[in-house]
Structure 1
Amino acid sequence: MGREELFLTFSFSSGFQESNVKTFCSKNILAILGFSSIIAVIALLAVGLTQNKALPENVKYGIVLDAGSSHTSLYIYKWPAEKENDTGVVHQVEECRVKGPGISKFVQKVNEIGIYLTDCMERAREVIPRSQHQETPVYLGATAGMRLLRMESEELADRVLDVVERSLSNYPFDFQGARIITGQEEGAYGWITINYLLGKFSQKTRWFSIVPYETNNQETFGALDLGGASTQVTFVPQNQTIESPDNALQFRLYGKDYNVYTHSFLCYGKDQALWQKLAKDIQQFEIQGIGNYQQCHQSILELFNTSYCPYSQCAFNGIFLPPLQGDFGAFSAFYFVMKFLNLTSEKVSQEKVTEMMKKFCAQPWEEIKTSYAGVKEKYLSEYCFSGTYILSLLLQGYHFTADSWEHIHFIGKIQGSDAGWTLGYMLNLTNMIPAEQPLSTPLSHSTYVFLMVLFSLVLFTVAIIGLLIFHKPSYFWKDMV
C-alpha cells in the first residue's frame, strides 16, 4: 500500500470516528439539556404555585372592647377562615375610641351606657359585612378601673356589667359576654399580643428543607403595659426560678413551653399614681407645680415602698421581680406619653431622656400652652408628671439601668395592629394559637425571587445551547475543540 493511500485511509477512518463521537456526544448533550429543561420547568411551576396560590376569599371577624379606667376602645380583627390555627394571619382592621370616660364612671348613670357604646358598635356594623354579623364574636374585657370598683362594691360592678351585657346583646353579633379580667390576665394577653405580632412564636422554614428551625432572633419580648389605673410587667426570666407562685404562668405555644413572670401593680397606672401623689400633698390648700423635675422625681419615689423584700429580689411593695431579661415592648400609656415628649427613639439614651424631661418640665406654663395649642390643658398639664413617673417606674421600680434602657422599645402599633392585651385576649378565647407548630410557612420573598431567577436562567441557558446545536452545529463543535 502506497504512502498516499495509507494517508487517505487513515483520514477516512479518523473522520468516521470523529463523526461517531460527535453523534454520540450530541445525543447525550441533548438528553442532558432536555432533562435539565424539564426539571427547570417543573421547579418554576412548583415554586410559582406554592408561593402564589390563591388566597381564600372567606374571612372571619372578631370584636374586642377594651373597657379601661379612662376610656373604652373597640377593636375589629380579621383573618382568613381557612387559617384559624395558622400564625401571622390575624390583623386589626379598625379601631374606634368610645367618646367619654371608662365604664366604671357610669356607676351612677348606668342608663347612659347604651348610648355611650352606640357610635362604635354602629361602626362595627358598617365595617363587618352583614352576612358575617351573626357569626362575629364580641368580647368585652374590663381592666383596672372596674377592678377598683369591684373592690369598692361588687354589687355596683355587677350592675354596670349587667347593663353593658344587655346593651351589647342588642346588636346582631355573637356576643360572648363582658367580664373583668385580672391583672395577671392583662399582663399575659399583652405579652401574647406583641410576641404574636412580632412572629416570636413561629418557626422559620428553610427553602431547601421541610424541617423547621429556630432563628437566632426567637427570644420573646417582655411586655410593659401602662394604663390609667394599673401597670403590668411580663417576661420570660432566664434560668431563674419564679419564687412567687402568684406571678408564674405556663404556656405551650407552637410546640414550645414558656415559663412567664407577670405582675400587675394596681393603682400604679399613670392616673392613679398622680392621685396617690396629690393625696400625699393634700395638706396644702392649693397645689401648684413649680417645674422642678428633681423635686417631682423625689416625690414620686415616695410612692414606691422599697423598705422590705421577702424574696431574693423585689420591684417595690414587697413584690418579687426576677432579673430583667431580653428586649421589652413598652406600649399603651408608656408609648403615648413618650411619643408626645418625642422620646420614643431607640437612639436616645436614658441620660438624654432624663435631660430632655428636665427641660420640658422647666418650661413656663404659658410657653407650654403656646407651643401645644391644640392639646387640651387637662392632658397637657399632666405630661411633666407622666414622663417623670414613667422614668421613675422603669428605673427605680423595675430596675432598668442606663445600659438596659436600650432594650426598651416604645411601641404603638406592630404591622398595623395596636400593641395591647386585646388581640391576645381574642386569640385565647377563639383558640387561634395552637399548642403545636403549623406544618410549614410560605417561602420568604427573597428566597422566592432567588429561586425563580435561578430556574429561569437555567431554562434560558438550556434553550440557547439547544438552538446552537440544531442551527449551528459546526460553530458549536469548533468551540468545543
Structure 2
Amino acid sequence: MDEPKVTGTKPKMSSTRMILLILAFLSTLAVIALIAVAVTQNQPLPENIKYGIVLDAGSSHTNLYVYEWPAEKENDTGVVKQVEVCKVEGPGISGYSHAPEKAGPSLEQCLQQAKEVIPSAQHKETPVYLGATAGMRLLRLQNESAADKVLSSVGNTLRSAPFNFQGARIITGQEEGAYGWITINYLLGNFKQSGWKKLLHSLKSLSETSGALDLGGASTQITFVSKELTSESPENQLYFRLYGKDYQVYTHSFLCYGKDQALQQKLARDLQTVENSLLPDPCFHKGYERTINISDFFKNPCTSEKKMAMSSLKTTGK
C-alpha cells in the first residue's frame, strides 16, 4: 500500500521579522554614511586662495612682494596677507638710466623666487604689477627717453614671466601717499571693526584712522583724513571705500625731499661756499670718502638750480 503524500506551502516570513531585517539594513546604511562623513570632515578641504605679485620700484632699491587672499571678499574688501618678500639686488630701476636693457633682467632672481612660492597651476592667473615711485619720477623729468626705455625693459621681463602681467608704470605722488596710508591703517586694524568697537566707530563723526608720513629716498608723502577738506587743492583729495565705509583723504607728495635727495640738496648748498675740492660733511661717518662728478650731480632736477662751475668734488666724513 502506497504511503500518503503530504502537500502544502512553506510558512511565510512573519511581518515582525521583515521589519527587523529592514531596520537592520537601514542601520547599516546609517553607519556607513556616518563613517563617510567623518572621513570627509577629517580631509582638508581645498582652499580657494588667490595670489598676486607687486614690485615696489623705489629710488634706491626694488622689492617684490607676494600676497595671498581668499577669493571671497569680506564686505566688498579682500583680506590680503603677505607671504613672501624678495629684495632685488642692485640699485633701483632708475639707476639703470645709462644701461636700460639691464633693468628688466635685474628682476629675474626675485621672479624665480615667486614662482617657487605660488603653486604652478595658478601662475597664469596670478597678476603681477610694478609701480615705480619718486626715483623714476625724477628720471622722467631729467631724461624722459631713458625713463621710457627702463620701463620697456622691465615690462619685457615681466611679460616673459609665467604670470598675468598687469602693467609697469610710474605712479603719482598722490597714489604713493594713498597706498601707504591704506597699508598703515590696514595693518593697524583701523578699517575692520567688530563688536562694541564697531558700534563706537560708527557713532564718531571722524574715522579712527592714523595719518601716514612716508619718508622715501627721493620724496616724502603725507596722507590723512581731514575734518575740513576744501577745494583749494582737489588734486590732493582721494576717495576710497573700504569694508563698506567711505574715506576722503588729503595726500601730498614732496618731490626732492626724500632722505637721499635731501642730502643731495644739502651738498649742493654746501658747494656754493667750498674753497677747494674737499668738502667735510657731518652726515658721513669719519673716514668715509665719496667722489662726486659735478656735471652729473647737477643734472638731477632736485639740484639743477644750484649748479656751479666745478668739475669734481670729494666729500669726506668729519
Question: How does the TM-score come out when normalised to structure 1?
Answer: 0.47
CA contact (8 A) 2:174 2:252 kept: yes
Q: Structure 2 unaligned segments of length 5 or more: list them.
A: 1-43, 291-318
Equivalent residue for 1:259? 248
How big is the shift at 1:251?
2.5
Say whether 1:203 aligns with 2:193.
yes
Counterparts of 2:282 and 2:188 in 1: how far apart (Å)?
42
Per the alignment, do residues 240 and 181 of structure 1 end up closer, same or farther by CA in structure 2, a change over 3 Å counting? closer
Q: Which of the residues 279, 286, 293 maps onto 2:278?
A: 286
Question: What CA deviation, in whole Å up to 9, does each residue of 1:144-203 have, x standing for no partner?
Answer: 011011112222211111111011111100010100000000001111111122222223
Equivalence map 1:325-336=2 (5 Å): none
Say whether 1:270 aligns with 2:191.
no
Say whether 1:183 aligns with 2:104.
no
Say whether 1:157 aligns with 2:147.
yes
Equivalent residue for 1:146? 136
Counterparts of 1:56 and 1:185 in 2: how far apart (Å)?
36
SS of 2:222's equivalent in the other structure is: strand
SS of 1:243's equivalent in the other structure is: coil
Q: Structure 1 unaligned segments of length 5 or more: list them.
A: 1-53, 292-360, 367-376, 380-481
Question: What CA deviation, in whole Å up to 9, does each residue of 1:279-318 have, x standing for no partner?
Answer: 0011322221358xxxxxxxxxxxxxxxxxxxxxxxxxxx
CA contact (8 A) 1:247 1:261 kept: yes
Say whether 1:169 aligns with 2:159.
yes
Counterparts of 2:228 and 2:240 in 1: how far apart (Å)?
17
Counterparts of 1:169 and 1:85 in 2: how far apart (Å)?
33
Q: Which of the residues 75, 99, 112 maps onto 1:109?
A: 99
Per the alignment, do residues 263 and 66 of structure 1 end up closer, same or farther by CA in structure 2, a change over 3 Å counting? same
The size of the alignment, in residue pairs, is 241
Structure 2 counterpart of 1:92, which letter?
Answer: Q
Counterparts of 2:150 and 2:85 in 1: how far apart (Å)?
23
How big is the shift at 1:240?
5.2
Counterparts of 2:247 and 2:80 in 1: how far apart (Å)?
22
Question: What CA deviation, in whole Å up to 9, does each residue of 1:316-361 have, x standing for no partner?
Answer: xxxxxxxxxxxxxxxxxxxxxxxxxxxxxxxxxxxxxxxxxxxxx9
Equivalence map 1:190-339=2 (5 Å): 190-205=180-195, 213-215=199-201, 219-239=208-228, 241=230, 243-283=232-272, 284=274, 285-290=277-282
**CA-atom RMSD in angstroms:** 2.7
How big is the shift at 1:237?
1.6
**Identity over the aligned pairs, expressed in percent?**
64
Counterparts of 1:378 and 1:144 in 2: how far apart (Å)?
26
Equivalence map 1:288-437=2 (5 Å): 288-290=280-282, 365=286
More helix by share: 1
More strand by share: 2
Per the alignment, do residues 108 and 290 of structure 1 end up closer, same or farther by CA in structure 2, a change over 3 Å counting? closer
CA contact (8 A) 1:58 1:81 kept: yes
Per the alignment, do residues 290 and 145 of structure 1 end up closer, same or farther by CA in structure 2, a change over 3 Å counting? closer
SS of 1:148's equivalent in the other structure is: helix
Equivalence map 1:37-186=2 (5 Å): 57-83=47-73, 89-186=79-176
Question: How does the TM-score come out when normalised to structure 2?
Answer: 0.69
